[in-house]
Every structure is written in C-alpha cells, then in structure tokens.
C-alpha cells in the first residue's frame, strides 16, 4: 500500500468528468453537465470505492511501498429500465459496464502522482437522445470503447485548522481526448485544479470539494464530421453553432457514517455549471429571439446515496442510487429537487450502480 492512498482515486474521480460537447438543456445534457450527468458519476462512484478502500489502510502508511494500484468494476442502469413506454417495451433504459484501472506513486508522504483509464461497454440496446455526446439518435448497441485517459497529482493535508480539526488537500488533473465523445467535440485537453476540505469526528465525516475545469478546444463551436454523418451536415452544415464548454465550475459536498467497522453509508450533493467558448454578437443581423453574448449552461445538480461493505481488507462492494438533472425545469420557472426524477415519465435521470473495487 502507498502512503497517499487517495492519489489514484482522487485523480480518477475528477478525471472522469471529461468529455466536452456543447451547452444544452435538461433532456439533452452536454458539456460538463453531460459528463457529470451521464458519464462521470458512475466513475465517481467507482473511484470513490477505491478511495474508501485505500483510506482504510492509512494506519499502515508509514511502512508501505510507494506504488499503488486499483481496479474497479461498475454496473450501472437507469430507472427507465423499469418503466414501459407507449410501445410496451422498456427500451429507453440503458445498462453499462465500466472497468476502471489506476496506478499511483507517492513522491512524499503527502504528495503523489497518478494515472487512470476506463473501458466502457453498453450491455443492452437503448435510445440515445444525445448524438453530440458520441452516441446515436436510434436504438443501437455501442461498441466497447476507451474513455479519456487521466493524469493527476495530489497534495494531501497541505494545511489544517487545529482547533476545528479541518484538513485541506489539493489536486491537479489532465484529461487527454482518447474517448470518442471528446474527439467528436474537438477537445484537445482538459485541465482541472481542485481543493477539498475534510472534517471527521469518531465515525462521522464531512467533506467539500471545489474544482475548476478548463477545456482546450479545437473549435469554439461543435462541428460535425461530414464524412461520418453526411445526413446531419445536410441539415445544419458542418458548424452547428452550438458552443463547446470553455470553463466548468464544480462543487461537491458529502457526509459519511461508519455503522460498523466494515459497513458505512454516505450521501453527497453535486452542483456544476459550464460556460461557453464563444460569444455571439448582437448586431443588425441578429434575430430578436437569438441568444447573444456569453453563453452558459442552466446548471446541473444531484445526489448520491451509497452503502458500502468491506468484503476483505482491500476489497469493497458498493450499492448506490443517484440522480442528475438541471437546476431548473424545462420552462425555467421552477427549481428542481435533486433526490429523484419525479418529473419525467421514464424517471431516466435517476440511476443505480453496483461497484466492486480492489486496491493493490
């Protein structure tokens, strides 16, 4: 085990917030909203379990080998699998499997570097309503594919508040566009510094993390590869005019409680929003109905509820329910609640996952 067990997990947690398509609405999330809502959080759950297993070994830290590894297998499906549509088939639900792998090296007791990657496989046919995310607008099974590869560095407990017993940690990550979603969006690189605070008392722990994502894009707006999708180019042309994300802000808070030595429960709340890479001018040619100026997303938030059990010393099993959705309803008049998708007929914004994580 390594001295800084959270190195791999922390880099992978933020690293899976990759994929940089465009700003969009609640039913077709994109930019960081899409990454968080549809991709990151199954990985966040996965690496959270790796992190939990790793941190449980901190008592052995001083005698540990400075290199660590982790593997995690996650099965995720959304609530639409249990709801029949008008045709009588529950074919709007999705089911995915992820294999996450990471390796970390401790430079010092508190500073480490890491690398991680994820392989994704869709298990059943589903209706993907977000073609800008690299999917299809028809029912289809995606092929097995590699997500963005992540490199990161972490500095654990670089500062503390002794009286309150609050510790602060920092991280810096880089995502490289090895996924089809990032390549389709023209992403060249994603970088993200972060800072977190943690406090614990007996079996209760509180945490908060803030991260800033910067996207280096090939183009400020989403462009279609007309050789792959010529029918889409006939409709909109090569340049859709839909802005890619340039900045994303993310805030996540969490609380966990150890019921027994090997059994714990936790809840987290996530809030994120993206800002576009292009400003649209307001001139004599602009329609009165057009959006102008700096573009920004409508914001996404959600919750995760987890129960985790240590099967063995370095092996953890987690079951979770999570919801990701826009901050506001489609008409923009009301704030949404983040606990469950009561609003849609399919309840598809709520999903479940099981993760088996092993630290090495």
Q: Beta-carbon neighbour count of residue 115 at 10 Å?
A: 18
pLDDT digits (tens, 9 = 90+) for 182-240: 887 788 999 999 999 999 999 999 999 999 999 999 888 888 777 766 766 776 677 77
Q: Are 108 and 2 in contact (CB under 8 A)?
A: no
pTM of the model: 0.79
Average pLDDT over all residues of the chain: 78
pLDDT given at position 293: 74
pLDDT at 25 over 60: no
What tens digit of pLDDT does each residue of 64-95 get? 679 999 999 999 999 988 887 665 554 678 88
Q: How confident is the model at residue 3 (pLDDT cuts 50, 70, 90)?
A: very low
pLDDT one-digit tens code per residue, 134-162: 444 444 556 788 899 999 999 999 999 98
pLDDT higher than threshold 60 for residue 62: no
Give the start-to-end residue ranges of the domains of the chain: 6-359
Dist CA 117 CA 138 (whole Å): 28
Is the Cβ–Cβ distance between 36 and 300 less than 8 Å?
Answer: yes
> Domain 6-359 is in which class?
mainly beta
Q: Does residue 250 have a pLDDT over 90? A: yes
Residue pLDDT, tens place only, 299-342: 999 999 999 999 998 999 999 999 999 998 877 778 899 999 99
Tokens of 166: 């609050």
d(C-alpha 92, C-alpha 110), whole Å: 45
Residue 268 has pLDDT above 70, yes or no: yes
């Amino acid at each position: 085990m390594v001295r800084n067990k959270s190195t791999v997990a922390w880099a992978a947690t933020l690293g899976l917030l990759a994929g940089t398509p465009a700003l969009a609405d609640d039913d077709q999330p994109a930019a960081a909203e899409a990454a968080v809502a549809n991709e990151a959080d199954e990985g966040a759950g996965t690496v959270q379990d790796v992190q939990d297993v790793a941190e449980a070994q901190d008592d052995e830290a001083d005698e540990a080998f400075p290199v660590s590894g982790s593997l995690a297998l996650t099965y995720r499906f959304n609530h639409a699998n249990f709801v029949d549509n008008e045709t009588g088939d529950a074919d709007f639900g999705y089911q995915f499997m992820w294999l996450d792998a990471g390796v970390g090296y401790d430079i010092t007791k508190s500073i480490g570097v890491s690398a991680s990657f994820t392989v994704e496989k869709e298990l059943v046919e589903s209706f993907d309503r977000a073609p800008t995310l690299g999917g299809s607008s028809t029912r289809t099974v995606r092929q097995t594919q590699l997500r963005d590869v992540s490199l990161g560095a972490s500095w654990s407990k670089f500062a503390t508040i002794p009286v309150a017993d609050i510790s602060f940690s920092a991280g810096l990550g880089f995502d490289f566009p090895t996924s089809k979603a990032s390549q389709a969006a023209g992403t060249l690189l994603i970088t993200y510094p972060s800072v977190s605070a943690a406090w614990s008392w007996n079996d209760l722990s509180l945490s908060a993390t803030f991260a800033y994502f910067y996207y280096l894009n090939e183009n400020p707006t989403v462009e279609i590869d007309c050789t792959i999708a010529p029918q889409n180019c006939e409709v909109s042309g090569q340049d859709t005019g839909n802005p890619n994300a340039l900045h994303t802000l993310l805030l996540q808070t969490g609380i966990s409680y150890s019921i027994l030595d090997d059994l714990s429960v936790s809840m987290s709340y996530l809030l994120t929003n993206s800002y576009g890479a292009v400003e649209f001018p307001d001139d004599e040619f602009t329609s009165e109905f057009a959006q102008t100026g700096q573009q920004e997303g409508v914001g996404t938030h959600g919750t995760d509820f987890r129960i985790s059990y240590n099967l063995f010393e370095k092996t953890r099993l987690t079951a979770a329910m999570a919801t990701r959705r826009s901050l506001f309803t489609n008409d923009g008049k009301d704030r949404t609640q983040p606990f469950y998708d009561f609003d849609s007929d399919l309840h598809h914004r709520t999903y479940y996952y099981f993760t088996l994580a092993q630290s090495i």
